[in-house]
Chain A
Amino acid sequence: MLLRLLASLDAPSSGSLTWRGQAVTRRNILAYRRAVAYVAQRPAMFDGSVEDNLRIPYTLAIYRDARYDPAAVETLLEAAGRDARFLAKSADELSGGEAQITALIRVLQLRPAVLLLDEPTAALDPDSAATVEAMVNSWFEASPAAAFAWISHNPSQAQRVGNRTLHMEAGRVQERVQERVQEIKPT
């Protein structure tokens, strides 16, 4: 819920969302969502191949200045331990782990400033979970201006991937946390 709010997919019941000193309004919200990429726990896939799914963002007006970059995708595939044959796979034959890897490549190729990960490994086997962690890590280390928020129910994973850990327990604490992260600035 918190991340859906940060991705501005849900409207806040109170308070406001600020990005780089500016309130997020209907005028800049699409650019904001381009900069702040949200990855759901069970990522949606469209009919077609993995590559078709990777090309989906480029059909949107907000990415009209960008082009699908096969070399960048290949680099990301390598980090996930896959080769180019993975691109031809049909999206409806992907396992949960493969779908999550596809979803991550789909947003990482767009070079977002912030990554919001909503329990990205909760439904995955340990191998796929490790791959996802490694992909996020290598993306994070390669992009000096990046930040990410990772929701996890696994305390050891939280310790492993995060620099700062916020605990959330029911309503009261959740409210305090929301106040603290309302303003996200790339570090």
Chain B
Amino acid sequence: MNASYTNLSNLDLALAAALILVNGALSLALGLKLERRLAIAAVRTVVQLLLVGQVLAWVFRSRHWYVAVAMMTLMTVVAGLAASRRGQRAYRGMRTDGMASIWISSWLVTAFGLFVIIRIRPWYEPQYAIPILGMVLGNALTGVSLGLERMTEELTSHRSQVDLLLALGASRWEAARRPAVQAVRAGMIPTLNAMSIVGVVSLPGMMTGQVLAGQSPVEAVRYQIVVMFLIAAASALGTTLAVLATYRRLFSAEHRFRAERLGPRTERGTSG
């Protein structure tokens, strides 16, 4: 890409991997008993990333739209499944709600970024579509899982207040509004924090990558700005969708709070 770019050899990687010995030595010296997990984590890092590199290289070369779309679908499903794994409480259908919120929000927002802002050609250009969807997914995942966790938690701990409002004659939305607002706020705050410190405290990975690859920082930050706004929109949209989906499942049209649907998480991830 640029003359100043340095490729890394296997020896370079081995030198970097040797740094894990720092962690190992600390674990032994302090009795952390983390040696086994350190070794496994180190091997996973190397194997997973080398594999992903091969897969992405193949996807980028293939020039078929369905290969790119299949890859993006796989990424979305993995993120969607992870979205409902947080928290102590679960309800039947939570996994579906998490998946749908992640899918709709990140694909809509990524489509806007790719087709309206960056205007990639061909429309599935994997070099753009896959990394941008990946960044959007990661942040939508944080928002959705925080939102789901907070909503189920608020409804559990404030059940008597919800019931009180309903008993007084509140509509189901009036009764659920406080928990829902708390949940959407909880889901959006990480993005807001990231937006206010970006570039000052942290240099985002994408920008760093572009700069390392020889791109001028002035250009790299322009992409980063676009990505920050895509991330903000996707996590807000995803969090709101997830909280509304929870609300629809746990409140009936007769304005009843179906608390019996909300239970402690079972091993399968949803309550029976």
Contacts and interface: CB of A to CB of B under 8 A. Distances in A.
Interface in B147-161: 158, 160-161
A79 interface: no
Given A10-B256, A11-B256, A26-B255, A44 B160 contact: yes
Interface of B: 158, 160-161, 163-171, 174, 252-257
Contact of B254 (A11, A43, A44, A61): A11
A109 to B, nearest CB: 11
A25 B256 CA distance: 12
Given A10-B256, A29-B255, A60-B169, A43 B174 contact: no
Nearest to B174: A60
A29 B171 CA distance: 9
Contact of A46 (B161, B167, B169, B174): B161
Contact of B169 (A40, A43, A63, A106): A63
A107 B169 CA distance: 11
A9 B159 CA distance: 12
Contact of A33 (B158, B160, B166, B257): B166
Nearest to B257: A9
A104 interface: no
Contacts of B171: 30, 60-62
Interface residues of A, number: 29
A30 B255 contact: yes
Contacts, number: 67
A43 to B, nearest CB: 7
A63 B171 CA distance: 11
A122 to B, nearest CB: 15
A106 B165 CA distance: 11
A8 B170 CA distance: 12
Contact of A61 (B163, B174, B252): B174
A34 B169 contact: yes
Nearest to A106: B168
A111 to B, nearest CB: 13
Given A30-B171, A33-B168, A60-B170, A11 B160 contact: no
B164 A44 contact: yes
A57 interface: yes
Interface string A34-58: 1001101011101000000000110
Given A9-B257, A11-B256, A42 B168 contact: no
Contact of B161 (A9, A31, A44, A106): A44
Contact of B168 (A25, A29, A107): A107
A7 interface: yes
